[in-house]
Amino acid sequence: MPRQYPPARTSVGAALLAALLALVPSPASAQETGSIRGQVTSATLGPAAGVTVRLVGRDRSVTTDEVGRFSFTGLVAGSYVVEVEDERLGRGSAQANLAVGDEVEVEILVSPLFEMDALVVTAGPLATRQDELFQAARVVGGRELRSRIQPSLGETLASEPGISSTYFGPGSSRPIIRGLGGDRVRILENGVGTGDASNTSPDHAVSVDPATADRIEVVRGPATLLYGSSAIGGVVNVLDGRIPRERPDRQVRGELLGVGGSVADERSTSGHLEVDLGEFVVRGSGSWRNTGDYDIPGFAELGHDEAEHAEGEHAEEEVEGLLPNSFTENTTFSAGASWLGNWGYLGAAISGYDQLYGVPGGHAHAEEPAGGTTEEEEEVVTVDLRQRRFDASGEYRFSGAPLEAVRFRFGANDYRHFELEGPEIGTIFQNDQWEGRLEARHRPWSGFEGALGFQAMGREFSTIGAEAFTPPNETDLYAAFIYEEADVGPARIQLGARYEWQESRTVNREFSRDFQGVSASTGIRWDPGELVSLSLSGGRSVKLPTAEELFSNGPHLATRSFELGNPDLTEEVAYSLDATLHFHLDDLRAEISGFVNDFSDYIYPAFTGAEQEGLREVRYSQGDARFVGLEARGEVELFHVGEQHLGLELTADVVQATLKATDEPLPRIPPFSLGAGLRYQGMPWQASLSVREVAEQDRVAPFEEPTPGYVMVDATVGYRLFAGNTVHELVLQARNLTDTDARTHASLLKQEVPLPGRDLRIMYRVAF
């Protein structure tokens, strides 16, 4: 009798690969081509002659003629984004939908003032202007990014509406978006995960130096499920160009930035160099930063009793005007190269990140001496971090239907950090992780354009030592996703879906759990006129429990807590609704967003009120919860004569988060904030003055302390000098000009760790 074989099993990845191969056109396919022509006009000088215009993601660029005209010919049908970004004139962009054999005319207005006209590449398969998205988004780049750079990613973005940080001192701070943090906010480097341990604890640094970034994109709302079903809070994508994807506009291009600051005796430098070698482009970058303990206005302890200090009761424990153990030292490097052509690109890069930083606040743990009485001993905790990473990415563009392009991204890293208690190694954290994603973008089909893709991730995480609160564990994740857009009458709709499967297990196989979930989103954008657009999106997302939430069981000295995981956790399901209103006038850009996130079985760390080993007990729990909030941002041009521009910027945000069963607030939710700023942009001078008020947070969870409000004032003045293709820029800046005692409510150390005091800074930049 012939042997009977079991039926073949087709995996999600194999089925997706077969579908992609079925769409690949034969080499002989051809298509009639069209063209995009247009005019570039400067808000300052009129027709913009001699500026570079590029097709985003196509490695094609041209220079405008003497009347600002340009043209791209030989283009196959599809969607294109045309962008101008110029040091003198500012930025501008336009979108063109090209039919077979068509010729499209576009107009691009470039302005040095408006930051909300930037393109966003993280929100979908195509680069899109912020005012044409289905969800709220923000791009921080160029001059704005340079003026905001802090040692950590969280603090660099903390002044954005809707964003706060976990602030654990200058060495470690992760973004919190709409009150959500941890793995509900995905941190990406060039489209794939950072591979560090920052989502496991707030004292763990994000292994990204903002000083090396070209731009940082923040995307909120349901469409973020393209990057992970748990990313209901948002996605932060740091784009640093370590793998060149397009040719530079000159054979050699580079930048060098030096910074000095007073509050922590900061000295830092960063830069990059890019060289076009014909078919190949190479790029190198690096950064170095050294800061000491930073100055604070008064004592670190909130509500410090001056009378007790005068009597000597705290004289040995507290230092006035300085936050001990708040130093940072870090170095980064990267080297990458790409092979580029009309067909696309293929590139790879290696990079490294090294950081040594203090975890301020003083960290006490209980010890029992020979006499039998328990006493507390304070240890100085520092973190010594090292990461080495390999990245690869590529894109192949087809000249015929139905596929437009296939893109892949891959990153693998070797990460470890030591938590030092005094001079001794207390705990070693190790994380070996890889992540890859494949996206296939198709041409318009039955009115729809978009992409489908596949994502995979493997992670091996372990802690060794006195604070091994999580056993060694492994996680495997596989996901398939689709994203589509189409015009329906006067509106444009968006549809997206993601299937995700995850297995988490201890290395000894004593415990293993697997989870799966289906997430989906839909959105509609309606443009009632050229000046206003309204976007409405909704979605269902599934967050799968992390290994730390499942398996933690032990003391964590840096957070002053004894962490207890819950192996019985189930999938967390969130239903979200997001509405955004855009205004886009000649002298006004504005965006107002409201959102509701309704969670079933929301996973959160809750203080129980008990103590273990002298530390506060924290237990991962679940309960239904609701997050409701509003964000607003506006830019208004108040004055414009020749090259002189004066603009007003306004921001506001608020979020409330409640456990539905008890009607109690969730812990560490940022308070209401309001900001206003004036920005002058001229030639060669520029200046700005901003004021941000953060309200008192007295809506607190059980066993949580309220946080007082504060007002932060910043000012900047700068001068730019152009010498041919070289730009010299000198900037003087004052942060926290009034030396205010400010504390971040979302920080576990807010009672002991204020933000830095007055900081006077000088920055010099040369770009060529």
d(CA 264, CA 327): 8
Q: Is 121 left (phi over 0), alpha (psi -120 to 50) or beta?
A: alpha
d(CA 655, CA 184): 16
- The answer to whether position 172 is within a domain reads no
Our CA angle for 627, 629, 631, nearest 5°, is 145
Amino acid 614: pLDDT: 82
d(CA 130, CA 631): 15
d(CA 359, CA 370): 30
Q: Please, which residues have CB within 8 angstroms of residue 667's CB and are 6 or more apart in sequence?
A: 604, 605, 606, 607, 700, 701, 704
Q: Which residue from 696, 679, 687 is spatially nearest to 732, judged by alpha carbons? A: 687
Domain end, chosen from 56, 76, 110, is at: 110
- The answer to whether position 355 is within a domain reads yes
**Cis ω before 360 (30° cut-off from 0):** no
Q: Which pair of structure tokens corresponds to residue 697?
A: 């947070």
Whether residue 242 sits in one domain with residue 103:
no
d(CA 576, CA 200): 25
Domain end, chosen from 110, 127, 152, is at: 110
Residue 472: CB atoms within 10 A of its CB come to: 16
- The answer to whether position 519 is within a domain reads yes
Question: Hey, is 164 helix, strand or coil?
Answer: strand
Q: Which pair of structure tokens corresponds to residue 152?
A: 């950590």
What is the domain-level CATH number for residue 37?
2.60.40.1120
Residue 722: CB atoms within 10 A of its CB come to: 13
Cβ-count burial 405-416 (b if 16+ within 10 Å, e if not) = bbbbbbbbbebb
- The answer to whether position 58 is within a domain reads yes
On whether the CB atoms of residues 322 and 347 are closer than 8 A, the answer is no
- The answer to whether position 405 is within a domain reads yes
Strand partners, 267: 260, 290
Whole-structure pTM over 0.95, yes or no?
A: no
Domain end, chosen from 42, 77, 110, is at: 110
Amino acid 362: pLDDT: 62
d(CA 184, CA 200): 12
Amino acid 722: pLDDT: 92
Question: Hey, is 308 helix, strand or coil?
Answer: helix
For the chain, the distance separating the N- and C-terminal CA atoms, rounded to the nearest angstrom, is: 77
- Please tell me what DSSP assigns to residue 307: H
On whether the CB atoms of residues 259 and 269 are closer than 8 A, the answer is yes
d(CA 36, CA 508): 60
C-alpha R_g of the chain: 26
On whether the CB atoms of residues 117 and 93 are closer than 8 A, the answer is yes
DSSP structure string for 555-589: EEGGGTEEEE--TT---EEEEEEEEEEEEEETTEE
Rounded to the nearest 10 degrees, how much is the dihedral formed by the CA atoms of 179, 182, 184, 190? 120
What is the domain-level CATH number for residue 723?
2.40.170.20
C-alpha of 647 from chain center: 26
Split into its structural domains, the chain has a count of 2
Strand partners, 351: 334, 389
On whether the CB atoms of residues 624 and 600 are closer than 8 A, the answer is yes
d(CA 403, CA 426): 53
Strand partners, 591: 582, 633
On whether the CB atoms of residues 246 and 557 are closer than 8 A, the answer is no
Residue 531: CB atoms within 10 A of its CB come to: 12
d(CA 110, CA 83): 9
- The answer to whether position 385 is within a domain reads yes
d(CA 277, CA 279): 6
- The answer to whether position 23 is within a domain reads no
764 CB burial (10 A radius; 0-12, 13-18, 19+): middle
Amino acid 615: pLDDT: 84
Which phi and psi angles does 530 have, rounded to 5°? -70, -15
**Residue 265 domain boundaries:** 237-767
d(CA 259, CA 729): 12
Amino acid 612: pLDDT: 87
d(CA 108, CA 269): 35
Amino acid 426: pLDDT: 85
* Counts of helices then strands in the chain (DSSP H, E): 5, 42
Residue type, 599: F
Strand partners, 141: 215
Which phi and psi angles does 147 have, rounded to 5°? -75, -15
d(CA 63, CA 527): 32
Q: Please, which residues have CB within 8 angstroms of residue 463's CB and are 6 or more apart in sequence?
A: 427, 428, 429, 430, 469, 470, 471, 472
Amino acid 40: pLDDT: 95
Q: Please, which residues have CB within 8 angstroms of residue 14's CB and are 6 or more apart in sequence?
A: none
d(CA 197, CA 207): 9
**Cis ω before 444 (30° cut-off from 0):** no
- Cα torsion angle, 621, 622, 626, 631, sign: positive
Residue entry with tokens 């591979």: 195
Strand partners, 717: 687, 732
Q: Which pair of structure tokens corresponds to residue 538?
A: 């909704």
Beta strands in 342-399 (DSSP E): 344-367, 375-397
Amino acid 223: pLDDT: 59
**Residue ranges of the chain with pLDDT lower than 70?**
1-31, 221-223, 304-318, 362-378, 401, 467, 558
- The answer to whether position 10 is within a domain reads no
Q: Please, which residues have CB within 8 angstroms of residue 120's CB and are 6 or more apart in sequence?
A: 127, 128, 129, 130, 133, 137, 139, 217, 219
d(CA 323, CA 258): 25
Alpha helices, H only, 48-202: 142-148, 153-157
